[in-house]
Amino acid sequence: MLKYFPLLLLTFVALVALPMVGRVIITPKEVLYQTTLGEWIYGQNIDDPQLRFEHRIYWESRFPRTAFAMLVGAGLSLCGMVFQALFRNPLATPYTLGVASGASFGAALSTIFAGTLFTVFLGQPATVWFAFGGAMLAMSVVYFLSLSRDISGEKMLLAGVAVNFFFASMILFLQFVSDPSQTFRMLRYTMGGFDAATPGAIRQIGPIVLAGSFAILLFGRSLNVIATGNDRAIALGINLRRFRTLLFLLTSVLVGAMVAVAGPIGFVGIMVPHICRFFVGPDHRFLAPATFLFGAIFLAACDTVACCVLNVGTLPVGIITSMLGGPFFLILLLWRN
C-alpha cells in the first residue's frame, strides 16, 4: 500500500486543485470561504458576494465535474487493462466489443423520440437510459454470437467487430433521416463530455464504478495467468469459459454505465494501461491499482484542458483524448515493432 502513496496523494491533489483551474482561476481563499478552516486561516467574518459566487462555482460546478471525470477515467482505464489481458492484444480498448457503438445508437434513438410520451415517462435523463439500453443490447448480442463450448477471445473479437459495424451503420441511417438539430445532438454525444456531471450523476454512477473496479482489482493474479496463454491457465485450474464470461459481463456493464452518461471517450482505455505498464510492470496485481489511479488523474487533467481551450464554451474532452491518442497509437505500434 505504501508504494501507491505518492499516486494516492497525487490523485487527492488533482481532485482538489484541478477545479481551481479554468478561464477564471479560483484561489484557496475562495474555496474555503465561510468554512471553519477558512475562518481559521483567513479570518473571514464578512459576507463578500464575489467570494461567495466563486465558492459556489468551485463546489457546485467544477468540483463535481472533476470528480465525475476521475470516476470515468479510472473505470475506462481499468476496463482497457482487462481487455488487453483477456485478448492478449495490446491494442484492445473498452470499446472493442461494440458496447460504445450500442450506447451511441441508443443515444441517437433518444433524440428521435425526444418529446414523446415514452421519453416523458423515462424522465429527464432519457438519453442516459436509451444509451445504457443500447450498450446492454450490444453486450447481449456479442455474448450470444460468441456462445460455444469455449468462448474464445478470437470469436468474441470478431463478434464485437460485427456489432460495431452494424450499430455504426444504424447511427448513420438515423443521422440521415433526422433534422439538422437532431443530427448535431447525435454527433455531440459521440464526442464525449461531462456536461451531465452533477452530484446526482456521481451518486448514480459512483457505486457502479467503484464496486466494479474493486471486483476487477481482486482478479489481478488470475489476469496474470490468463495473459500467459489459455493452455497455462487451464493447467493451473482456471475455468476459462466462466472467468472470461464473468469479466466480459462485468466490464461491459461498467463501460455501458460510463458511456451512457459521458459518451464514448476514446483512447483512455488504451493509453493509460500502457503508460502504467511502462512504470509498474506487467504484473496485474500492481498494474490494476496504478491504472485505476492514474486513469482518474489523466482524464480529469484532459477535461481541465478542454475547459480552458476555448474563450467561450467547453471543448468536448473526447477531442482532447483523441488528439493525444492518435500519436500515442502510432508510437506504440513503432515501439512494439
- In percent, how much of the chain has pLDDT > 70? 88
Cα Rg for the chain, rounded, in angstroms?
Answer: 21
Q: Which residues contact 276 (CB under 8 A, 6 or more apart)?
A: 77, 81, 287, 290, 291, 294
Cβ atoms of 62 and 26 closer than 8 Å: yes
CA atoms within 13 A on the CB side of 80: 28
Span 233-253, mean pLDDT?
Answer: 80
Give the pLDDT score at 6.
85
Q: Residue 60 pLDDT > 70, yes or no?
A: yes
pLDDT value of residue 117: 47
Query: DSSP of 250-265, one letter per residue?
Result: HHHHHHHHHHHHH---
C-alpha cell at 265: 471517450
Residue type, position 140, single letter:
S
pLDDT band at 65 (very low <50, low <70, confident <90, very high): very high
Domains: count for the chain: 1
Comparing C-alpha atoms, which of 276, 219, 187, 309 is closest to residue 3? Answer: 276
In the chain, the amino acid numbered 159 is A
- Asked whether the predicted pLDDT for residue 210 surpasses 50, the reply is yes
CATH of the domain at 36: 1.10.3470.10
CA distance 202 to 185: 23
User: What pLDDT band is residue 39 in, cutting at 50, 70 and 90?
Assistant: low
Residues 215, 83: Cα–Cα separation, whole Å: 15
Q: What is the pLDDT of residue 2?
A: 60
Cβ atoms within 10 Å of 290's Cβ, excluding its own = 22
Q: Which three cell numbers stand for residue 253?
A: 456493464
Can you give the residue range of the structural domain that contains 305? 2-336
Q: Are residues 309 and 117 in contact, defined by beta-carbon separation less than 8 angstroms? A: no
- What are 255's three cell numbers? 463501460
| pLDDT tens digit sequence for 214-223 | 999 998 888 8
> Could you tell me where the DSSP H helices lie in the chain?
5-17, 28-31, 36-42, 49-57, 63-86, 99-112, 117-122, 126-145, 153-177, 180-191, 199-217, 220-228, 230-235, 240-262, 268-280, 284-309, 317-336
pLDDT tens digits for range 149-182? 455 667 778 888 889 999 999 999 988 888 888 8
